[in-house]
Every structure is written in C-alpha cells, then in structure tokens.
C-alpha cells in the first residue's frame, strides 16, 4: 500500500499562493471600489432597485390640451395645460394658450363664475407677458383676455380699465408683428366694444384676408357684423367658425341668438338643440343651451316648455343661483307668481336644501348688479303684490340704494312700495285683493 506524504492531522496550512489567482482578485476588488464610488456619486444605479416611472413631458400635456379644446371639452383642456405648466412653468407659450382657452371657457359660465374664470385667465396671460414681454402673440392674447374681462367687470370704472389695458396690448401686438392674425382680430373686437364700427370692420376684414381658416378671425368678424345689426351675415360667419371648430358649442348658441334676433325662433331652437346634443355626446353637463331654449320658448309664450328646459338646466347645475333666477322669470311671465317666489329667493338671497323646492341642495344667492337686476326687481314686485311686504322691503331697499337714478328700477320700487302701503291700509278688510306685480322683465 502506498502511503502519501505526511500532513498535519490537526492543522491546515492553507492553499499555496497562485500568482494568477491573486491578479484576478485584485482586479475584482478595484472594480468593486469603482462601482461603490459611482453609486455614492449618483452616476450608477444600485442593482435590484425599482424601475423609475417615466415622467410625461410638458409637450405631451399641451398636445392633450389642444385635443380637448378641439373636442369642445374646455375644462379638460384647461386641466391639461395646467399639468403642462406644472412640468415647465417657464413656458410662456403654454401660459398664453391656457389664457386663451380659459377666456373662451368663460363664455359658457354664468356671471359670478365667469368673473372668477376671467381672473384666472388674467393671471395666466400676465405670467406669459412677464416671461416674454416682446412676444406679439402673448400681447395679442392679453388684449383678448382683458377685453373679455370687461363684460364681467363689477362696475363701469373697472370695465373701462380692462378695455384700456386690452387696447394697449393689442396696439403693441400689432407693432411687434403686423401680420399676427390674432392681434388684428382681437383689435377689431376691441374696436367694436369701443363703438368704432367702421374701423372694426376694416380690421376684421384684414384678419380674414390674412387667415380665412382661423376660428378667431371668423368668430370676430361674425361679432363685428352682429354688433352692427347684420344678423344674417353674422350667422354665415359663425357657421364658418363652427365648421372649423365643430365641437365648440358657444358658436351654435351665438348662431341661435342671431336667428332669434331675426325672429326665426325655429332655426334658433335648432341650433340651441344642436349645442345640447354635442354636449350630451361629449359627456359635458352644460346648462346654457337649455337656458337659451327656455328663453326662446318664453318669448313665444310657450311657458310650459320654457319651464321644463329651465328646470333641466337646474338639474345639470343645481347649486348655480342663476338658473333659479331664470326659472323664476319664466314662471313670472307665465303668471305663476306664487311658483316664482321660491326660486327667485334662491337666486337672490340663497336657500337651504330644505327650502329649495327644485333640488335637495343649498344655493348661495347672487349679489345685486346689472346681470342679476331682473331677479331682484321681479322678486321685490311679486312679494309686494302677494302681500309679503316684510320680505319685499329689504329687496326694494337694496334696489333703491344701488340704482337711485335709474327711472325704470325706481319706478318698480316706488310702485311696489305703494302696493305695500295700500295693502297695509286695507289690512282690516276681510279678504284684501292682491295687486298685480309691477315688474315686467323680458327674458
């Protein structure tokens, strides 16, 4: 039997060194140190870490916003542009486009909400101009935003300030680029509001010649014609604008309003209905087409149909006091005086969910201004006529305080107060006869 060389039974002297093995270990150690340094510096991602989620680009959000705008979903378009600007807040083009969309969306809102939306639009365009003060388009859209702000101003001085700012911006936009189509169009729109109709016509026609396939040039030219009383020609231009932007329902409402001016109520109703249909297809809860329909039916004396459409508007937007006021006017004109009071109270003073006769929600009343004036004097007149004078007095006094020099308003106030005085004088009669309400508003 062959016996191997003797080894220590209780001691392992270790393996013998191999120079190639030592070289391999040294290389791995150096590589490991390099990797650790890279991880510490952030240049190398550690193994087995979760994969980072890709961040959407501002351009992607803006493209989505443009698609929503073309589809007629302006609220979604606004949200997409706001997302884009959250990614890239220094994008003055994004701020400019957001302001334009916010302004157009205001046309679909009621007075109080329009005022809020226009304030947001002014913030957006002011940001754009601060980032690019010499950009013609930013200044052009500033003219658009500030001019439209005038329609929601709280008083004449504020309205004049907005229009003056708009005019300055429009002039600068044209000076920076006299071929800027929107600058020319928006300046025409401002000239209309300044009652300079001939100059407005010239500017609008110039804008059309520069770009006949622009939504804005067609819309503004239609507006110029409408302001001049050329309703048929205005309809043609609004229709061309609608062909360029078929899902923007405010264009159809404008067409219907011009048909209504011509006394062509069937055609008007057709376009209002078309606006409502587009909103239904897009899943947009917009009550304005139903209000337009209600007003048209009311003018025709079809008060039942008018009331149904006003009630539909309330169901779509139950916390909006303006719709309650519209329904109150319809009921008043149909001589449903008792039925007009609860909804007019919701519009003027607000109402709790328990007092709301239409929807189980609370409603905040609207402040007295030119837009809400008919609701106030109609309510005061009806309350006085139906011998609810303690409720009528605060409304009538508010009208007296805000419109002391308006002969029509003061006529309604004084006659309503006289009705209350007559009723008080006859308080001892067994069954006093209610007087007829004074107010006769047109819707």
pLDDT digits (tens, 9 = 90+) for 291-301: 999 999 999 99
- Predicted confidence at residue 371, as pLDDT, reads 86
Domain range holding 343? Answer: 287-443
Token couple for 82 = 């706001």
- Predicted confidence at residue 311, as pLDDT, reads 96
Mean pLDDT of 24-46: 52
Question: Residue ranges of the alpha helices (H) in 155-196?
Answer: 156-176, 181-193
Residue 360 lies in a domain: yes
Token couple for 227 = 């302001």
Count CB neighbours of 286 within 10 A.
24
What average pLDDT is seen over the chain? 86
Mean pLDDT of 98-125: 90
DSSP of 30-87: HHHHHHHHHHHHTSSPPTTPPPPPPPPPHHHHHHHHHHHHHHT-HHHHHHHHHHHHHH
CB 119, CB 103: distance < 8 Å: no
- Any bridge partners for residue 351, and if so which? 363
Measured CA to CA, the distance from residue 326 to residue 343 in angstroms comes to 9
Residue 383 lies in a domain: yes
Q: What angle do CA 390, 431, 413 make, to 5 degrees?
A: 35
CB 399, CB 413: distance < 8 Å: yes
Measured CA to CA, the distance from residue 241 to residue 160 in angstroms comes to 29
- Predicted confidence at residue 440, as pLDDT, reads 57
Mean pLDDT of 284-289: 87
Which residues neighbour 282 within 8 Å (Cβ) at sequence distance 6 or greater?
A: 71, 72, 73, 247
Distances (CA, A) of 4 to 1, 7, 9, 161: 10, 9, 13, 110
Q: What is the dihedral of CA 393, 395, 397, 401, to 10 degrees?
A: 180
Confidence tier at 154 by pLDDT (50, 70, 90): confident
Residue 199 lies in a domain: no
Measured CA to CA, the distance from residue 376 to residue 394 in angstroms comes to 10
Residue 348 lies in a domain: yes
Token couple for 299 = 């003018």
Residue that has been written with the tokens 């004078």 in this structure: 389
Choose among 242, 139, 239: nearest CA to 182.
139
Span 160-207, pLDDT tens digits: 999 999 999 999 999 999 999 999 999 999 999 888 999 999 999 999
- Predicted confidence at residue 370, as pLDDT, reads 87
Residue 396 lies in a domain: yes
* Highest mean pLDDT, choosing among 55-69, 136-150, 426-440: 136-150
Q: What angle do CA 110, 113, 115 make, to 5 degrees?
A: 105
Confidence tier at 273 by pLDDT (50, 70, 90): very high
Measured CA to CA, the distance from residue 400 to residue 413 in angstroms comes to 7
CATH number of domain containing 300:
1.25.40.10
Residue 48 main-chain phi, psi, to 5 deg: 65, 20
Residue 312 lies in a domain: yes
Domain count, the chain: 1
Residue 335 lies in a domain: yes
Which residues neighbour 376 within 8 Å (Cβ) at sequence distance 6 or greater?
A: 348, 368, 395, 398, 399
- Predicted confidence at residue 285, as pLDDT, reads 81
Span 230-267, pLDDT tens digits: 999 999 999 999 999 998 999 999 999 999 999 999 99
Residue 9 lies in a domain: no
- Predicted confidence at residue 2, as pLDDT, reads 35
Measured CA to CA, the distance from residue 412 to residue 423 in angstroms comes to 16
CB 435, CB 426: distance < 8 Å: no
Measured CA to CA, the distance from residue 114 to residue 110 in angstroms comes to 6
CB 164, CB 183: distance < 8 Å: no
């Amino acid at each position: 039997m062959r016996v191997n060389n003797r080894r220590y039974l209780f001691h392992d002297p270790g393996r013998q060194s191999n120079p190639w093995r030592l070289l391999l270990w040294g290389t791995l150690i150096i590589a490991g140190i390099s990797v650790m340094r890279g991880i510490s510096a952030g240049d190398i991602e550690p193994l087995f870490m979760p994969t980072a989620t890709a961040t959407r680009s501002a351009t992607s959000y803006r493209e989505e916003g443009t698609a929503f705008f073309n589809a007629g979903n302006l609220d979604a378009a606004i949200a997409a542009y706001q997302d884009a600007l959250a990614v890239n807040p220094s994008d003055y083009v994004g701020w400019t486009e957001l302001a334009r969309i916010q302004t157009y969306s205001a046309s679909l809102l009621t007075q109080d909400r329009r005022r809020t939306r226009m304030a947001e639009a002014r913030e957006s365009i002011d940001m754009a101009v601060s980032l690019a003060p010499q950009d013609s388009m930013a200044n052009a859209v500033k003219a658009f935003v500030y001019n439209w702000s005038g329609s929601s101003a709280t008083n004449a001085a504020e309205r004049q300030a907005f229009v003056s700012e708009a005019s300055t911006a429009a002039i600068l936009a044209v000076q920076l680029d006299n071929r800027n189509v929107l600058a020319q169009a928006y300046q025409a729109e401002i000239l209309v509001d300044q009652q300079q109709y001939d100059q407005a016509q010239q500017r609008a026609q110039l804008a059309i010649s520069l770009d006949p396939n622009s939504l804005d040039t067609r819309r503004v030219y239609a507006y110029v014609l409408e302001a001049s009383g050329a309703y048929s020609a205005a309809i043609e231009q609004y229709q061309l604008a609608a062909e360029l932007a078929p899902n923007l329902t405010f264009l159809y409402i404008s067409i219907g309003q011009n048909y209504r001016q011509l006394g062509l109520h069937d055609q008007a109703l057709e376009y209002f209905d078309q606006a409502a249909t587009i909103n239904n297809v897009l899943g947009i809860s917009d009550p304005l087409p139903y209000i337009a329909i209600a007003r048209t039916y009311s003018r025709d004396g079809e008060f039942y149909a008018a009331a149904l459409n006003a009630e539909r508007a309330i169901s779509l937007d139950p916390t909006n006091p303006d719709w309650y006021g519209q329904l109150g006017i319809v009921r008043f004109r149909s001589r449903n005086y008792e039925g007009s009071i609860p909804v007019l109270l919701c519009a003027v003073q607000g109402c709790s969910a328990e007092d709301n006769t239409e929807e189980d929600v609370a409603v905040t009343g609207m402040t007295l201004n030119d837009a809400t004036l008919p609701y106030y004097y109609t309510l005061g007149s009806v309350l006085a006529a139906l011998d609810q004078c303690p409720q009528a007095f605060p409304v009538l006094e508010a009208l007296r305080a805000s419109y002391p020099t308006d002969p029509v308003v003061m006529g309604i106030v004084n006659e309503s107060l006289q009705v209350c005085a007559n009723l008080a004088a006859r308080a001892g009669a067994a069954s006093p006869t209610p007087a007829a309400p004074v107010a006769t508003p047109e819707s």
